Amino acid sequence: MIADGAPVMIAPTTLWNRDFSLYFAARAVSLLGDAMMPVAAAVAVGALYGVSGVGYVLAVWTAPFVLFIAFGGVFSDRIGARTMMIGADAVRAATQSVLAVAFLAGAPPLWLLLLAATLAGTAAAMFQPGVNGMVPLVARDPQRANGTLKIADAVTQLGGPVLAGLLMVSIGAGAVYALDAGTFLFSGLCLALIRSAPTTTVRVAGTVLRDLRRGWVEVRARTWLWSVILIWVCFGLFVFGPYVPLASQLIGGRLGASAYGWTIAGLGAGMVVGGLVAIRFRPSRPLAAGAVALTGFAAVPLSVGLEPALPTLVIAHLIGGAAMAFWSVMWSTSIQTCVSPEVLNRVTAYEVAGSVSGIAAGQALIGPASAVVAPRDLLILSTAVTAAVVTALLLVRPIRNLRGRPPTAARRLG
């Protein structure tokens, strides 16, 4: 017999059917465009309007995303995740096309950049809740699908900034925005060709506020769900949010910009490893196994804070990336298989809103905090918080005892 909670190897099932292949292509290409845009925004907008301009553009993208993502979950459950995702792709293709033309023509005014960012952030809020909900519709084995998608995410995070940098140098910002618009068009086309996910759902009539309340009730009814969301807000506030500005400052200042690039590459490579492991092994208690694996992420802030040589930094980030990817797959799969399909998009929306709000708060507070506390000490604090997060995940019994569910045929809404 297999020991309770022990990971087991599973026989592979068919994953690359027509619908999953289309969904994978849509997500991979869209993620590539998303990974390119921070470089384009930082360089192109920064050259025109300075650091404050970049901050304004990022802020007006994030604000509507956080404010409206819960509504995105409601509309996805009402009319279908695929319909909302296609519409959001169309809006973002339009905003990026306008900015591409504006950059090719000269210097776009700040108001246009802010308007486009606001519309794009709102569209992203409509798109994101369906990302989780689509997976059970197109894949018989959500865990293998999530692991495969996580690998694509890691690869695009590595290649997107490099591609954006090359295009910025050789052609200019207009080309980056045009390519990003093309990724949204491609994503929308692939989603439109998927057969197993209906474009509409049959629902009992009700108000949007009632649907929002129903989604919140579904979250509150699952202790393992709202507990992880609360814990993850703390993780974003003290670990994810501060990491990028602190790590870029400490690693770049000590070893150079290329060293920071190699470090992030190590993180991406680790995410690929974690995704591969998650595809192959199925713990009977996925969140407990994911929490144990998450211990390895402590190596990320700890290694930056201790300021070791570059090879040690890269190895530590490889370990941390693998740990985070494995947890991410366990978490996504648990939501997809343990939450009713008719409320899955709303539940996902609340989960994403919690994660993003914690990270945004951490990013906003790290400047004042680093003026009072040394960056190295803040990263040591992040390491301690990582350990505390793992401990909290394992101490909450509903999280620790949540059972994984076997692969099932793709679920259809309506």
In the chain, domain spans? 15-140+148-203, 205-405
CB of 176 closer than 8 Å to CB of 160: no
Q: Name the DSSP letter for residue 221.
A: T
pLDDT bin (cut points 50, 70, 90) of residue 205 is low
Q: What digits encode the pLDDT tens for the residues 361-391?
A: 887 787 788 888 888 999 999 999 999 999 9
The first and second tokens of residue 159, run together, are 């290649």
**The model's pTM:** 0.82
User: What token pair was written down for 260?
Assistant: 């920071």
Q: Report residue 80: phi and psi, to 5°.
A: 110, 135
What pLDDT, in 10s, does the model give residues 71-93? Answer: 999 998 888 889 999 999 999 99
What are the pLDDT digits (tens) for 118-127?
Answer: 999 999 999 9
Domain 205-405 in this protein, CATH class? mainly alpha
Taking phi over 0 as left and psi of -120 to 50 as alpha, with beta for the rest, 12 belongs to beta
Mean pLDDT of the 216-234 span: 93
> What pLDDT is attached to residue 2?
35
**What number is the average pLDDT over the span 87-106?**
94
Picking from 171, 272, 286, 146, the residue whose alpha carbon sits closest to that of residue 228 is 286
Q: Are 15-140+148-203 and 205-405 the same fold in CATH? A: yes
Instruction: Identify the CATH homologous superfamily for domain 15-140+148-203.
Output: MFS general substrate transporter like domains (1.20.1250.20)
Higher per-residue pLDDT: 6 or 66: 66
